[in-house]
Structure 1
């Protein structure tokens, strides 16, 4: 394996202040915020000795109103560059090199993450707390390859939202329908693709399938909605490995802004169903938004269904032999001034 170099890329992505939700500091407590180190490692193996180019794309954790990412450290052989995808603005690291006969390639990325509880419930916020929303793209009303917005889906959306007049009422009805008619079950095959028709037919799956149903029905009801994916962090403080991704959704209300929902977590814990409509716990790290992802620089292969795991091409062809390892380690002190109220800065 080629000897790794270490790159510190914090200045590339992480400039700018971070805001928190309205009044968040005043009501924060140790249980609704956390600080941890997150490590993302990918190892490409079984590279043909005759290969002339290996290229890897990795998602970069997002900076948001409730998540601050600092101290980004990249360990890679060489050829590291940073990019934003044009459609969603996702942050991407690209590693490209001549393998020179190497049979494997290792890339390791680590961050310090400060995460707060995400409180954007339109039900619980008072009018004075509502921030001016940013413009929403029409992309979030359009279908995806596996989440179409067609006549069949529109008919389901009309049925689910019958008697509801406002976008908020319709979103609540779609949330209720998703949580109460889907079952979190990863047995068998077909789950995990975020396939709306699969969700409608089988009524079970993982978080991608739950949120395909919510997003598809919301868009069919003319409510903009988007897919968000990252990793779950165990609620127990400490250190350990993270087995795989977790995703959720956001929907948009005119005059208010984006509202987060986590239908799969609500289905697993019905006692917290009301909580997960407009609120997300801090035990997660957000990476990317959207489906049918065109990477930057563009990949030769098909658009990615979603982008959370590393994508690799060897000599321009998709390469599946990639081992993934994710880990976290909690840090003892959460800097209280890490989150600034945005309106005070404008």
Structure 2
């Protein structure tokens, strides 16, 4: 049985590793006068097969708890009674991130090993699986003569990278709206991966969304301006395969690399979309959860500020 290779076959030697300090700070403005209860949620970076995470310092006023939510996501929750002033919360991590390479395809079957397996075939609010999306997905697979799930996922990846431009101009980008991405054909990483995930699910291929922060490839220190997101898909012959369509679009020379690999220049915080927090927020499910979220007496609080910084740790400092 001949199976196609993934990008990780091109990698030589052990996966690349990066260790760094990551600082996440949130400032919640003073709640409206008369507020009885202020709830604040922050995503918390987690350890998994691609990263080891240690909380070095957590500064938060009042009562706070670390909890586990949907898809195993870690959260920090604060509840303050009768708040009168702005609140600042800061978490300082040490992260060791490894280059995440997909295993090579096998003739056997690799178990999914994900308790949320059904979720990764279901629609999201902004990624419906209607007849139109299924028709477009089938057309992409058919044009590439792709019959196996792995070949179909590759066809979808190639289609997204080739037809969507990384461009954050205008309005509508950044929400991960598959119809926006299909129409505008530009956006950020959220839009790229809404299209990839939606088409994969429409073809019966489980696909899941992850979000965190990017680091520049150059070692050093500095501010991280905003989030980055990526995706994985599953086939029985490969297990979960990492892809990063938006990075491939920005750097066409690495298109092969990003089909089967996530580089080490990132840290993951949460997985999934349409998220209900723990304890449950009174507002609507969150489209995705990477920035702090707050409610004053159950109503979403606007103008929550955030900042992020990183500093690489040298090997001799470990």
Verify same fold: TM over 0.5.
yes
2:64 to 57, 80, 86: 80
Which residue does 2:26 correspond to in 1? 42
Matched with 1:340 is: none
Cα distance change on mapping 1:224 and 1:129 into 2, 3 Å: closer
Q: Give the root-mean-square deviation of aligned CA atoms.
A: 2.2
Alignment counterpart, residue 184 of structure 2, candidates 170, 177, 202: 202
Q: Is the 8 A contact 1:114 1:334 kept in 2?
A: no
Q: Which structure 2 residue ranges, 5 or more long, are not aligned?
A: 1-7
Check conservation: 2:106, 2:237, Cα contact below 8 A. Answer: no
Q: CA deviation at 1:229?
A: 0.3
State the distance in 2 between where 1:204 and 1:262 align.
15
Is 1:150 matched up with 2:136? no
Alignment partners' CA distance in 1, 2:317 and 2:111: 27
Q: Hey, what does 1:18 align to over in structure 2?
A: none
* Cα offset, 1:101, TM superposition: 2.1
Give the equivalent residue in structure 2 for 1:242.
224
Tell me how far apart the structure 2 counterparts of residues 291 and 248 of structure 1 sit (CA, whole Å). 12
Once residues 107 and 55 of structure 2 are traced to their aligned partners in structure 1, the CA distance between those partners, rounded to angstroms, is 35
Partner of 2:167: 185
- What SS does the corresponding residue of 1:161 show, helix, strand or coil? helix
Shift in CA distance, 112/131, structure 1 to aligned 2, threshold 3 Å:
farther
Unaligned ranges ≥5, structure 1: 1-21, 337-346
Match for residue 113 of structure 2 among 134, 142, 151:
134
Name 1:91's counterpart in structure 2: 74
User: Residues of 1 paired with 2:241 and 2:177: CA distance?
Assistant: 22
Matches of 2:237 and 2:218, distance apart in 1: 37
Contact 2:275 2:288 in 1 (8 A): yes
| 3-state SS of 1:200 partner | helix
The 8 Å contact of residues 132 and 256 in structure 1, kept in 2 or not, is answered as no
> What displacement does 1:117 show?
0.6
Q: State whether residues 39 and 78 of structure 2, in contact with CA within 8 Å, keep that contact through their aligned partners in structure 1.
A: yes
CA distance in 1, matches of 2:119, 2:316: 36
Is residue 55 from structure 1 mapped to residue 39 from structure 2 by the alignment?
A: yes
Match of 1:168 in 2: 150
Asked if the contact 1:57–1:310 (Cα under 8 Å) also holds between the matched residues in 2, the reply is: yes
The one-character-per-residue Cα deviations of 1:317-337 (angstroms, maximum 9, x if unpaired) are: 10012110000011012899x
Indicate if the aligned counterparts of 1:249 and 1:261 stay in contact, CA closer than 8 A: yes
Counterpart of 1:28 in structure 2 is 14
Tell me how far apart the structure 2 counterparts of residues 92 and 100 of structure 1 sit (CA, whole Å). Answer: 21
The change in CA–CA distance for 1:133 and 1:145 in structure 2 (over 3 A counts) is closer
User: 1:88 Cα shift?
Assistant: 1.3
Is residue 2:49 matched to residue 1:65?
A: yes
Q: CA deviation at 1:27?
A: 2.0
Q: 1:309 aligns to what?
A: 291
User: Is 1:276 the counterpart of 2:258 in the alignment?
Assistant: yes
The separation in 2 between residues aligned to 1:264 and 1:224, in whole angstroms, is: 19
TM-score w.r.t. the length of structure 1 is 0.84
Query: What secondary structure does 2:71 align onto?
Result: coil
Separation in 2, partners of 1:45, 1:134: 41
